[in-house]
Amino acid sequence: MGPHLDPFLVCATIQHTKLCRSVLAVSEIGTAQVLRSSIVPSSPPPSYFTSLKRFRDELHNERCLELLLLAEDTPCLLLDIGCGSGLSGSVLEECGHMWVGMDISSSMLDVALERETEGDLILADMGQGTPFRAGVFDGAVSVSALQWLFNADKKSHQPIKRIYTFFSTLYAALSRSARAVFQFYPENEDQLEILTTQAMRAGFYGGVVVDYPNSAKAKKFFLVLMTGGAAPLPQALGTEETDGLQVKYSKREATKGARGKPLKNTRAWLLEKKERRRKQGKNTRPDSKYTGRKRSGKF
């Protein structure tokens, strides 16, 4: 491993801690692949950083595409919201789809132009709505862009209103039975709540899928929205039997359970306790009809 390939070295040179954390998060998944396929053989640290960023974006976008559940082998017209330099769009190109990208930063779009991406680019603010005709797109993807809607950069910005405008215009621009998948970084539970309520208000069905919910680093939030009727959400990665929505509400369920806890020294309480011990991997006798009964006086 060359010195420039050491993720910790890269992190040491970056001041921004948040950025640093996200680099580390990827390096766990990404580095092994980078080394194996040696895509960055002798690049200097800055381009290593961008290539990591690229890996992250591409990984995310591949997952987004997976969640979109597009019909195979049919070229679709997709909308990439917050396309930036068009890196994420290249994943779409590889899968044979046409895409239209929108971003608020003209400098990023200039980079996309230099890279000669196939997609059409539009300079627009998603908080002002997506400026497209009704029913044009077969799907929408977005990689780490949705959280910016919560920023009020100007005095007149009202995040909730902007979110609603965005979702309602997006709903109109998508064809029926289309899906929109957003990978994003919510700051807290409230933001998730706001996003889902505003999306439902705009007419979408869907919810949040959390990949690797038990990992601090690999945890990924995907907002999956559907236009044509409710359908089961896709299975999140890194969870076994719980799906995304249940994970999201697990905290609430837990507090609900605490309020109505079974009375101590009852059979229900005992069964719960035994169940808990079993989950902890402790040696527990199997349940039977005698479980929780008083011993007879004889003993």
Sign of CA dihedral 169, 171, 172, 173: positive
Using rule CB under 8 A, residue 123 touches another protein: yes
Q: Report, in Å, the least distance between residue 129 CB and another protein.
A: 5
Mask 187-216, x = binds another protein (CB under 8 A)?
------------------------------
Report the number of secondary-structure helices (H) and strands (E) in the chain.
9, 7
Minimum distance of another protein from residue 124's CB (angstroms): 4
For position 132 contacting another protein by CB under 8 A, the verdict is yes
Report if residue 111 touches another protein, rule: CB under 8 A.
Answer: no
Cβ pair 166, 204 in contact under 8 A: no
Rounded to a whole number of angstroms, the minimum distance from the CB of residue 234 to another protein is 24
| CA-to-CA dists, residue 220 to 8, 53, 225, 228, angstroms | 22, 15, 16, 25
Q: Does 156 bind another protein (CB under 8 A)?
A: yes
Give 98-134 as a DSSP string.
EEEEEES-HHHHHHHHHTT-SSEEEE--GGG-----T
Is 133 a binding residue for another protein by CB under 8 A? The answer is yes
SS3 content of the chain, % helix, strand, coil (to 5): 45, 15, 40
Binder among 66, 94, 110, 189 for another protein (CB under 8 A): 110
Kindly state whether residue 121 participates in binding another protein, applying the rule CB under 8 A. yes
Angle value at C-alpha 202, between 196 and 204, nearest 5 degrees: 65
Among 131, 203, 228, 257, which residue sits at the site for another protein (rule: CB under 8 A)? 131
User: How many residues contact another protein, by CB under 8 A?
Assistant: 31
Residue 72 touching another protein (CB under 8 A): no
Residue of 52, 46, 51, 43 whose CA lies nearest to 21: 52
Beta carbon nearer to another protein, 63 or 97: 97
Instruction: Kindly tell me which of 138 and 211 has the beta carbon lying closer to another protein.
Output: 138
To the nearest whole angstrom, how small is the minimum distance from the Cβ of residue 126 to another protein?
A: 11
Counting contacts by CB under 8 A, is residue 122 touching another protein? yes
Among 69, 95, 98, 194, binds another protein (CB under 8 A): 98
Q: Does 247 bind another protein (CB under 8 A)?
A: no
The whole-angstrom distance between residue 91's C-alpha and the CA centroid of its chain comes to 17
For residue 124, state whether it binds another protein (rule: CB under 8 A). yes
CB of 72 to another protein, least distance (A): 13
3-state secondary structure 153-219: CCCCCCHHHHHHHHHHHHHHHEEEEEEEEEEECCCCHHHHHHHHHHHHHCCCEEEEEEECCCCCCCC
> Which amino acid appears at position 24 of this protein?
L
Residue 28 interacting with another protein (CB under 8 A): no
> What is the binding site for another protein (CB under 8 A)?
74-77, 98, 100, 102, 104, 106, 109-110, 113, 118, 120-125, 128-129, 131-133, 135-136, 154, 156, 165, 169, 175
